[in-house]
Every structure is written in C-alpha cells, then in structure tokens.
Structure 1
Amino acid sequence: MTFTERMWESARQKKGTLVLPEGTEPRTVKACSPILTEGLAKEVILLGKEGEIKKVAEAEGADLTGITIIDPTTSERLEGYAQEYYELRKHKGISIEDAKAKIIDPLHFGAMMVRKGDATAMVAGAENATGKVLVAAFTIIKTAPGVKSASSCFVMDMPDKKWGKDGLMIFSDCATIPDPTAEQLAEIAAAAAKSCKDFLQTEPKVAMLSFSTKGSAKHEHAQKVIDALAIVKEKHPELNVDGEMQADAAIIPSVAEKKAPGSPVAGQANTLVFPDLQSGNIGYKLVQRFAGADAYGPFLQGFAKPVSDLSRGCSVEEIINTSAATLAQAE
C-alpha cells in the first residue's frame, strides 16, 4: 500500500470535517468535490463570499454539490469567535473590535473553527505564504501541551522498499526551524516520532543525526545533538530514540555494528531528525532527486490539532492528498 493509499484509508476511517480557508483559489475549489466524493472527509467547508466562490467554480468547471460555504463576515459564529480571539490576545492590548476585524480573515476564521472543534483540520497555503498560515495556527490552534515550538516533516517514499517501513521514512525538520536549540531539537524528535505513528502507522525508531557517532567527534554542533537526546529521553522515556549518529550508522546495519554497537535504533531507523534546517532541507532534496523518492509534505507537527501548509505551486492532486494526510492526524 502506498503512502497516499494509507492516508486515504485513514482519513476515511476518521470521518473528519475539513476547512479550506482559501475559498476562491481555483485549485482549492477544484479539490473540494473529490475530497468529499472519495469519502476523505464527511464535510468540506470553503470560506469566502458565496457569490465569488461559485463564480470561480463555474469558471473552473468545479462541482460544489454538498460543499459547505461559510462567509466569515456574516457567519453566526462571528461574535463567539471574535470573543474567543479577544481572550487569546487581550494580553497584547487588542480590543474586541480589533478581534472581530482579525477573525474575519479566512485563515484566522478557519484556525478558530479547528480550535473550537467546528472543523477537524485546516489546509491552506495555495495562495498564502507559509508565514501567514503559521501565524494563524500559532496564535489560535496553538502547539500541543508541553510543546513550545512547532516544526515540520516530510514523508519520503523510496523506490527501494528496504528502507524504513516498506520504503517510507520520516525526515524532520526540513522546512521550519533554521537553527534549533537543544530543547527545540528534542521537541522535533518527539513530534517526528508522532508523525511516524500517524503517517507510517508503525512504531518509530528515531535517529538524531550528526557528523559524529557516539562521541567520534567533539564539537559544539555534535554536543547540541547529545544534549537534545538527553532531553527527549528524560521527557519521553517511552520513545525508541538514539544518537548522536551519522546517517550511514542510522540506516545501514553493517555500519551500525561498527559505529554504534548495541544501539536500539542504529541500522534500522525509520525516522531521521536532522540537526538543523540546512542539513534537513538538503538531505530530503538529495534523496528525492538521486534516489527518485517521492517527498510528501512538509507536514506541520507539534500543533494541538491538525493543520497543514501547502506549497503555492501545489497541484489539485497535492491538495487532495495533503488534506487526506492532515485529516488522518486527527485523534
């Protein structure tokens, strides 16, 4: 079963409600009907003015049968959402009028729908920059309890199925935090482990990568990974995580025997945690291009409820698949 098939099956089982804030974005409008008719969500909500959304749908030949359209400016939820946003942000000195003006923004309204349980998941980013999607998610959905920094992961689907779980691996963080502290790196490792369970549907074996394996090199960069490992082991003793280790020690058994004998992770890792964004971004793109792997994501992780950020160059198919994967993360 491919990654996409796994996510479609999981989304169908979860039967969640999806909110798409970019209601007049043509690819998003075209994605709605397949998401609903394929049973990936029990309800699909587009945000925006009904007339404008229907105009786009007509121009694109998109079927809106069964799709819920909500205009934040006239919604019956507006007052309650504005009050909730005011309570969240009043320490910043905003007024209730400011809150109402802010919450009618579709990204903020969609995030509030997820916060309040009126939607299961939110997917956006086809026309909004990542920063805008993240701001709405951080200020309204917020991070999961005990998590200070949200991050991201890619699901790498390799043609050679010997790697990870039937060729599927988690690479994290490849898109969000440029230079994580040891504390942030520990949070990334824990979040990546959860992503492994959600997306790969298997128990995570997390390798915290470095240019050093078990003290083979001394440097502050390697020490940060060592410190992060100690933190994640203290906070999440149930996780199967190890480091610091080089990439070959993490995934190749014969190398693991020499460099990290006795490690419960080395040589069999299915989740790779990179020490910084440069190495993570470079790493996933090298695997994608050299190995011919499919890279799904980036998926946001560490938030209290499911939210995903799309590439502005995404296709209709990518919106559908990302929506399925995001809905699959629902508890």
Structure 2
Amino acid sequence: MSYILFGGTFDPIHFGHINIAKFALEKLSADKVIFIPSKNPRWKDPISSADRLNMINIALSGEKDFIISHFELDSTEPVNYSIDTIEHFVKLYPNEKLYFLIGFDQVDNLDRWHEIDKISKLVQIVAISRPSYPYNHELLKRYNVQVIQGKEYDVSSTDIRTLKSLYTPRGVIDYIVDHKLYFTKSVEAYMSSSRFLHSVSTAKLAYDIASSNGLDPTIAYIAGLIHDIAKERSDLKEIMEKHYPQYINMPSFIYHQFAGEYIARTFFKIDDERILEAIRVHTTGDRAMGKYAKILYAADKIEPTRNFDSKSLIEAMKSNLTSGFREVLKAQIEYYKSKNIDYSNNMQMRCFTYYLKEER
C-alpha cells in the first residue's frame, strides 16, 4: 500500500484541503491520505487542538480513503519537526511507499527545513502546484520533489476565520457557530441573544434553500448570519446620512438593511456583491433581485423560530426559488395587512409590483 502524509494546522479544515487530498490520491494512485493536524505550529496561534480535531472528524466523516492521525497532537514535544512525524510513519509502515504532501509555496524554503536531506530520502516529497510552476526550480531537483499540477482553490482557513468565505462542510460551519469560534464572537457582539438565534436560524434555512436550488449554500449562509448586524445600533441615522443619503426619507425601520450592508463591507470586508445585495434589500426587497437576495428575503421572513407555521412556504422555496419567492411575497402582503403595517415605501412596492404583476 501507499500513503500520503498530509500535515497542517487545519484551523479550520475546508474544502480546499479535502479536494487537494482527493486530487493527490488520484494522481499518485495512493491508497490512503493521512491527515496529521499539528499541535504547536511555529509562527501560528491556532484555536485548541480539540476543536480543530473535532472539525476534522466532522469534515472527513464517511471518507473511507482518509485517516486522521493524532501523532502530533499527542506529542509532548514543544515543537514537532516534519522529520519526527515522518520517522514515526516510516516505523509504522516500513514496507510501504510514503508521500509527503506540501504546497508549492513551501518549496522555496525547503533548504531551511530541519534535516531536509534525510526527509527527502525517507519519503517522496510531493508539491501541489498551479499549472505554470517553475519546473527548473533548483530545490525541486535537489530534494527530488515530485510536482503534480492541480486546480487552484481560492479559499484559505484565514478566509473562513474572518467570514470572508465558508467553503467548508456544513457540519464544520455549524460547529464553528455552535461553539462560538472565529468570527462568531464578532457577529454576536452586534446583537442580542434572541436576534443572534434568529440570524443563525435564517442562515441555516438560507443554506438549505440555496442547496435545494443548486446554488452555493455558503454564500446564502453568510448573508443570513449577518443580515441583521445593524438592527440594534443606535447610530443608524448617522450611517444613513453619511453613506445612504438617497434613502434617508425611507421609513426608519428599514435603515438597518442599508447599514447592515455598510458594516458587512467595512468591518467584515465582504466584497461579494451577491451577499451585499441580499443584505441591502432583505427587509423591503426590490425589483430584479438576484437569487441570493430572494433567498435571504424569504428565509428572514419564514425561518422556523418565527411565530407561525411556515412549513409550506419553506417547502415552496426549496422546491422552486422563483415560484416559492412569489408565495412568500403574497404571504408577506397578507401579514402587513393583518397588522395594519404601511408597506407603501418605494422599494417594497417596486418588489411587489415587479414579481406579482402577473397576478395583479
């Protein structure tokens, strides 16, 4: 048999890690990939080993070709060098072919690795690279590095920790939020506990609706999680006057959708226009809304913690985004009428007219 040793901080693990492992497994015709989370990586300050390991277990559940090693996590050494890990697996699998997987960005520093000459003799170092790698790189030859060219995955653990992306399995997302890791504390700081619960419920439903309609559920989840970050702020008018003066004459109860977009853009550094649009119109809607804007508008209104039976509307949204959205709009109009709420502002009327015009 042959094994690929894949070490890393995995803080947290994401689909980039998983897809690279699957790609290497195929290209090298190996039998197993061994994920080796590090305990005390130099130059990094990860969250607890227990949380990282729990998320790895969640992410790799059901993956029969992946093994999770506790070797470095269980080590009592203050620093684990790659040579220590490699020697452990050489002793464990003395007659098997071992590959040691690295990113191409690590190749430049290979000559600074502790006992790199010994490493290159014990295992086959494999670097994952973009297609245009420098094949005459001196260190590739010196340490007999095998390069496999693969797809570039535009995601990093840093992106997930800062809510720039959530390109990781749903179970990992839920673990992060449930255990208040990474970005969760900042999101929670913007709102009361009840508002936070509503936001999480909205995010989960938005994820499910997007997934059912063949869309990226992580985009919908991010929009849902932070859609109400401005709802309870006391400086809404100031934000509106400075950044959205064209909407200052709109009813004040919708200010938070604009201020929410502002906070998402400036504090969380969200630059995905699909997320920003969804937040910007989640209360009122508007004409010609994008798909994720429709999802968030609906999820915000019908998420399960709302005090009414929304099962049929949820199923309608999951079944067909276009027709389900119209059903949600009709239900929202009925709600406004039952509560004598004035919904005649420009944006809401544009939304209702645009999407329900066939029935008016």
Under a length normalisation based on structure 1, what TM-score does the superposition of the two structures give? 0.30
Structure with higher Rg: it is 2
Which structure's residues are more often strand, by fraction?
1
| Higher RCO (C-alpha 8 Å, min separation 6) | 1
Under a length normalisation based on structure 2, what TM-score does the superposition of the two structures give? 0.28
